[in-house]
Structure 1
Amino acid sequence: MINAKLMRNDGILIVEPVDKLEKKDFKQVALLVNPYLEKHAVLNGILIDAESFPGWENFAGLVSHLRFINQYEKKVKRIAAVTDIGILSILPKIVKHFVSAEVRHFSYKERELALSWLQTDGAG
């Protein structure tokens, strides 16, 4: 399960995995994002708020996650991975080879800094 919130004024999607990710989770996030993208060219950012990462319920959940990334990767300017989980903290180094968005890791205590970074226009 994913909790998702769209900060419409900022064009920022906040996602928080709270239970094993399922195929339907990505459909629900798409229902939140698609109406915004019909009116705007891109999302300014995605904040992945991952105090923990429960994994995927099954292979269909993983495949849906990968399809979601593929479908939206060119429509996102920046991704902030907010986590202290070791494997997820190296996410930016891995993901930069697959997405056009600028990706950065922030420790969990830097969540507000991550949000501020997503809200800025320039690099920095």
Structure 2
Amino acid sequence: MGRHVRRPTAFDRMIEHKWIQGHKILQIQPHGAFTVEDFHRLAEKIDPIIREQGRIEGLLIDTRDFAGWKSFVAMISHFRFVHDHEKHIQRIAVVSDNPVLKFMPHLVCHFISAEVRPFTPGEYSEALEWLENSG
């Protein structure tokens, strides 16, 4: 039997996403610089799940290919997206080898209700396990 292979869209190349454990954990991996449209498209992917389930247990953000924002407006859209969605996410794991991004969870935990924890790329499995066992 042939397998249907979904062709990646422009959004997929900017922010790849994959649901783990049904729709309990969302893994995202940005590629390149964020645009305003990236956050609109990401909201279209997760908002229906949040409406259905009430929350997402975990978010794994793999930032190894993160290249910042295309514009100041894109950065503001990112902050607005976080503000609108963070209360619906129990835990956030940030996988990064960038020293600034590894420090970010320690800073943002003061502004959001989700538990945030940094992991190195070599700790990817540990990050996923931490999210899967969020209780």
TM-score interval (norm. to shorter): over 0.9
Asked if 1:7 corresponds to 2:10, the answer is no
Assess if the C-alpha contact under 8 Å between 2:91 and 2:134 holds in 1.
no
What percentage of aligned pairs have identical amino acids? 38
1:15-54 matches, cutoff 5 A: 15-54=28-67
The number of equivalent residue pairs is 122
Taking structure 1 as the reference length, what is the TM-score of the superposition? 0.93
Cα separation, partners in 2 of 1:120 and 1:8, compared to 1, 3 Å = closer
Equivalent position SS for 1:55: strand
Gaps of 5+ in 1: none
Partner of 2:99: 86
Equivalent position SS for 1:84: coil
Which 4+ stretches in 1 moved above 6 angstroms? none
Cα separation, partners in 2 of 1:17 and 1:111, compared to 1, 3 Å = same
Superposed CA deviations along residues 51-83 of structure 1, whole A, max 9, x for unmatched, are: 132000001110110010000010000000001
Measured in 2, the distance between the counterparts of 1:8 and 1:22 equals: 28
Pick the aligned partner of 1:106 from 119, 123, 132: 119
Aligned-CA RMSD value: 1.2
Superposed CA deviations along residues 7-49 of structure 1, whole A, max 9, x for unmatched, are: 3625111111111000000111111101111110110011010
Taking structure 2 as the reference length, what is the TM-score of the superposition? 0.85
Equivalent position SS for 1:98: coil
Equivalent position SS for 1:13: strand
Partner of 2:7: none
Measured in 1, the distance between the counterparts of 2:21 and 2:74 equals: 27
Partner of 2:129: 116
Gaps of 5+ in 2: 1-13
Assess if the C-alpha contact under 8 Å between 1:17 and 1:53 holds in 2.
yes
Assess if the C-alpha contact under 8 Å between 2:29 and 2:61 holds in 1.
yes
Query: Which structure has the larger Rg over C-alpha atoms?
Result: 2
